[in-house]
Amino acid sequence: MKKTIITLAALAALIYAVSAGMQWLTPRVEADLTDRVNVALAEQGLLYANVTTQGRVIVLTGTAPSEESKNKAIAATARVFGVADVKDEMVVSSEENKAKASKTYALTIKKTDKNIEISGQVDSEQSKNVIERIAATHYGEGNVSSSLVVKEDAPSGWRSAVGTVLFNIVNLEAAEAKIAGREIMISGTALDEMYNTQLSENLGVALPKEYKLALAVEIMSPTDVETAEKDMKDIAPAAGEEGKAEAMLTSTLNRVKKAFETCDENAMNTVKTSSLYFGFDRAEVTKEGNATAKIVAEALETCASTTVEVAGYTDTTGSQLYNQWLSEQRAEAGTRALVRQGIKRTRLTPKGYGETSTPGNNATKEGRAQNRRVDFIPQS
């Protein structure tokens, strides 16, 4: 009888311990499940759904852009490991909500290696928390810096668009994404064309359909990486290489002396009258453009004291916001083209002028083509 009493007491203590342990663990399990569901939704561009976890049951609320999108969010949630059931409490957006799009509503994401910096506006405290959690889950807690501000009247699909971009730029070496109204502009670098193609395809499928996407991703070749590494070594020789540093300095002084001796008006005219032209909606330097950049670089080599503004322009097709961004990407592309030809980046100042100050007539096809350009403007 005594043994039975002890056994029952031990069993009761065990049940109590397990129950207490479950109560302690439940918030952690729910938080982990919430994170996994949000990441799964972001991956497919379905982040408009608000996620609430009740044990292993997920409750979805919020406004979906369509009945089809609502069903996709339910299906994506149900597939997440650990989800026992999904309760749908979402509504479908009205036409009035779909039409809302303020270009002053903006957010920027900057990525450098694994570090992410997010600034700008979100529609609610819940959206702010979701976006910050996705960033922390995807890039690591210590790699995320956020200064998001809650502001009402976001364009429909805003959180979904932001989360989709944040999720998909992971394979870019460096990136800057600007989301303004329903325009999304992403620039950056990748080590392989595959990543650029994958990014374009994924965003094309996952972003809300009313959002316009523009990409300006440069593929860094091994030569670019080696050149960058060489430049770093030139700037900061290792300790114990004083002789090498002195030889480099002498060589540099000789080049400068030679440059001052050969710089003339013809070289300056070559720089002033040379332009790079771009395809419609493009910021990639063409084969002909690289040939022009080589000629400009040769002229600048003879004028080592000259700095240059690399001025980018566009035609008037598209919004002013987009054209300003595109002109900046063209200016950066022209700058990189000269750097590849051996011109130090410190001598170059890229600047975008958007659709302003262009010589061509935007009412004609030929004039618009004339305005999709980069000019080189000597400064000294």
Q: Return the pLDDT at 330.
A: 96
C-alpha 345/C-alpha 215 separation (Å) is 23
C-alpha 165/C-alpha 185 separation (Å) is 10
SS3 345: helix
Residue carrying structure tokens 């590494």: 229
Distant-in-sequence, close-in-space partners of 308: CB < 8 Å, separation ≥ 6: 271, 300, 338, 347, 348, 349, 376, 377, 378, 379
Task: Show pLDDT as tens, one digit a residue, over the chain (380 residues).
Answer: 555 555 655 555 555 544 544 454 567 888 889 989 998 998 888 998 999 999 899 999 988 888 998 999 999 999 998 899 999 999 998 766 656 667 789 999 999 988 999 999 999 999 999 999 999 988 998 999 999 999 988 998 999 999 999 999 999 999 999 999 999 999 999 988 889 899 999 999 999 989 999 999 998 765 554 444 444 444 444 444 455 555 554 554 455 444 444 677 888 999 999 999 999 999 999 999 999 999 999 999 998 889 999 999 999 998 999 999 999 999 999 999 999 999 999 999 999 999 988 888 999 999 999 999 999 999 97
C-alpha 89: how far from chain center = 33
Domains in the chain: ranges and CATH: 2-93 (3.30.1340.30), 98-219 (3.40.1520.20), 263-378 (3.30.1330.60)
Decide if 212 contacts 321 (C-beta within 8 A).
no
C-alpha 175/C-alpha 145 separation (Å) is 15
Task: Supply 259's token pair.
Answer: 């440059």
Q: Return the pLDDT at 368.
A: 93
Q: Return the pLDDT at 26.
A: 66
Decide if 37 contacts 77 (C-beta within 8 A).
yes
Q: Return the pLDDT at 4.
A: 52
Q: Return the pLDDT at 101.
A: 61
Q: Return the pLDDT at 367.
A: 92
Q: Return the pLDDT at 371.
A: 94
Q: Return the pLDDT at 270.
A: 92
pTM to 2 decimal places: 0.76
**How are beta strands 57-61 and 275-277 bridged, if at all?**
unpaired
